[in-house]
Amino acid sequence: MIGFDSLDVWRGTWFTFGPQNRLNFFLRFKKPKPLSSRSKVKADSVPEGTLTQAELVRRANEIFETQAIEESQRVSKFGKIKPIITAENWGKRLVAVGGVLYSGNWKYFADFLDAFLQARFGGDWTEAQTKLDPIEKHPLTLWRTRALIYAKKALMGAPQDKGVLPNGSMAAYFGFAYDLYVVDHNNNLDDRLLQRLKNREQFQGARHELFAEATCLRAGFTVAHEDATDPSRRHVEFIATDPQSGIRLAVEAKSRHRPGVIAQFGAPEAEDQADFKFSRLVNDAIAKQSTLPLAIFVDTNLPPRRARNFFGEPAPKPVATRYLKAIIEGFRKRNGGHDPYNLLVFTNFPHHYGRDDERDPRRDWIAHIAQAPVLTVPNPDVLLRLATAAELYGVVPNTFPIPNAVT
C-alpha cells in the first residue's frame, strides 16, 4: 500500500478480541495446535499392527500434511517464534521457557502466563506489592487486580468454561505477560530490561522496549543487546538481524510520557489536550548515531478517541494524516532531503485509558518506510515484514497445544 508523496505508509487498526476470542477465567483465544515439519512415511518402514500398513501410512501422512498447514497458520497468527513447549506428566502441566522448566496445575495458557510473570518478577517483588498503597503500586499489579475483579463479576453465575471479553486492564496485563514470555522463550530476557520492568517509574519505557523486541522476534529476526555499560558512546536498545538476508538493524523504542498516566506524576490532562509532540522522541533515537540502518518504534500513549486524529480512520489504502506528514517532512527537511531513519512505527495501546466496565479500547499502528534514507537497506521487504509484525501484539494463545497421534 502506498501513501502520500510516494511514501510507504502502512496502516493498521486493532479492535479488541471478537466474540469467538473470549477470556476463559483469565483469557481465552483460539486454540493453537502443535506442529512438526513436513514428513512422509514409507509403507515398508511401518511395523505390522492392528491397521494395515497402507492404512497406517495414509493416516500418518494425513497428520503430517495437517501439521504442515497448522504450522503455517500458527506462524501467520503468532509470528515466526518457537511453538509452546509443553507436556503433562506426574499430574502436572510442564512448560519449558528458554532453559527453564515450569510446572503447575494450569488449565489455560493464560493461567500459566500469570504464574510465569510473577515467577520472573520474583516472590519478593510480588509480596512487596501487597503491602503498598494503591497509589504506590506497580501498573502491572493494578491491572491484574482490576482484571480479576472484572472477570469475577462477568463470570458470576455463568456456566463453567464460559469466556469473557477482556477489558483494558485484562488486555494490558496479558498482552504484556505474553510479550515477556515471547522474549524469554525465544531470546532470553535481558536482566537489565527485567530490572527496569520491575521499577514502577521506569516501567512505561521498558514495556515499549519489550514490545519492540517481541515484534522483531515475531518478524523472524534475532536480537542482540549491546553492552550498555560501555560509556564511550550512547547505545541503541538492541541490534536485530534478519537470518535470511543477514541485514542488521539498530532498533530504538520510545514512549511518550503523559502526566497521571502509567505511574507518571501529575494530574491527567484533558483528552483533547493530549499533544502529538513526538519529534523529540524520534530525535533522541536518531542521536544514538548507530552505523546501521535504524528502525524506531514510538508509543504515542494517546487516549483512544484522540488517537484517531493522529492515526486517522481505518481505510483500505493508508493515508498519512497531516500530523504524521508534518513529522516525516520535518525530519527530511532538516536532514538535507534525507530520512534519518529507515523505518518509523507509531503505535497506540490505550488499554489503561479504558474503564473497568467496558471492552478494551481500539488500538492503532502506522508505519513509514523511508524513501530517501541516509543508510539504505538492500531488501526493503525486510522492513515491511518488521513493520507488519507490530500488528501481532495482543494476539495471545488461549489453550495449550494438543499432541497429534496416529490412532
Instruction: Locate 25 and state its grid cell.
Output: 477465567
Report the pLDDT value the prediction gives residue 314, as an integer from 0 to 100.
Answer: 79
Residues 86 and 13 in one domain: no
> Which of 85, 104, 123 delimits the end of a domain?
104
Residues 130 and 150 in one domain: yes
pLDDT exceeds cutoff 50 at 290? yes
Residue with more model confidence, 35 or 201: 201
- Residue 171 maps to a domain: yes
Residues 320 and 274 in one domain: yes
> Which of 104, 125, 156 delimits the end of a domain?
104
Residue 146 CA to residue 151 CA, distance in Å, equals: 9
Report the pLDDT value the prediction gives residue 22, as an integer from 0 to 100.
Answer: 40
Model confidence pLDDT, tens digit, residues 249-265: 999 999 999 999 999 99
Residue with more model confidence, 79 or 156: 79
Question: For the residues 4-19, what does the mean pLDDT come to?
Answer: 36
Residues 92 and 151 in one domain: no
Question: Residue 275 gets which letter from DSSP?
Answer: -
What's the pLDDT band for 146 if we cut at 50, 70, 90?
A: very high
290 SS3 class: coil
Residue with more model confidence, 162 or 213: 213
What's the pLDDT band for 315 if we cut at 50, 70, 90?
A: confident
Report the pLDDT value the prediction gives residue 157, as an integer from 0 to 100.
Answer: 76
- Residue 369 maps to a domain: yes
Tell me how many domains the chain contains. Answer: 2
Contact between residue 10 and residue 366 where contact means Cβ atoms under 8 Å apart: yes
Residue 309 CA to residue 323 CA, distance in Å, equals: 8
Report the pLDDT value the prediction gives residue 57, as an integer from 0 to 100.
Answer: 80
Report H helices in 31-122.
Answer: 53-78, 109-121
Model confidence pLDDT, tens digit, residues 194-207: 999 999 999 999 99
Please state, rounded to an integer, the average pLDDT across all residues of the chain. 86
Residue 364 CA to residue 13 CA, distance in Å, equals: 4
Contact between residue 114 and residue 26 where contact means Cβ atoms under 8 Å apart: yes
pLDDT exceeds cutoff 80 at 47? no
| Contacting residues for 13 by C-beta, under 8 A, at least 6 apart | 311, 314, 362, 363, 364, 365
Please give the C-alpha separations between residue 7 and each of 40, 87, 127, 328, 346, in angstroms, as whole numbers.
46, 48, 50, 10, 15
Report the pLDDT value the prediction gives residue 77, as an integer from 0 to 100.
Answer: 94
> Which of 56, 79, 104 delimits the end of a domain?
104
Residues 237 and 366 in one domain: yes
Report the pLDDT value the prediction gives residue 176, as an integer from 0 to 100.
Answer: 99
pLDDT exceeds cutoff 90 at 32? no
Neighbours of 101 (CB within 10 A): 11
Model confidence pLDDT, tens digit, residues 331-376: 999 999 999 999 999 999 999 999 999 999 999 999 999 999 999 9
Residues 16 and 92 in one domain: no
- Residue 37 maps to a domain: no
Residues 60 and 143 in one domain: no
- Residue 405 maps to a domain: no
Residues 284 and 197 in one domain: yes
What's the pLDDT band for 289 if we cut at 50, 70, 90?
A: confident
Residues 224 and 272 in one domain: yes
Nearest partner of 140 among 164, 166, 121, judged by Cα: 121
- Residue 257 maps to a domain: yes
Residue 226 CA to residue 234 CA, distance in Å, equals: 10
What's the pLDDT band for 11 if we cut at 50, 70, 90?
A: very low
Domain ranges, residue 63? 43-104
Report the pLDDT value the prediction gives residue 66, as an integer from 0 to 100.
Answer: 80
Model confidence pLDDT, tens digit, residues 208-233: 999 999 999 999 999 999 877 666 67
Report the pLDDT value the prediction gives residue 226, as an integer from 0 to 100.
Answer: 83
Residues 170 and 300 in one domain: yes
- Residue 115 maps to a domain: yes
Provide the whole-model pTM.
0.85
- Residue 110 maps to a domain: yes
The pair phi, psi for residue 49, each rounded to 5°, is -160, -155
Question: Residue 227 gets which letter from DSSP?
Answer: -
Residues 18 and 48 in one domain: no
Residue with more model confidence, 296 or 23: 296
Residues 126 and 65 in one domain: no
Report the pLDDT value the prediction gives residue 372, as an integer from 0 to 100.
Answer: 95
- Residue 32 maps to a domain: no
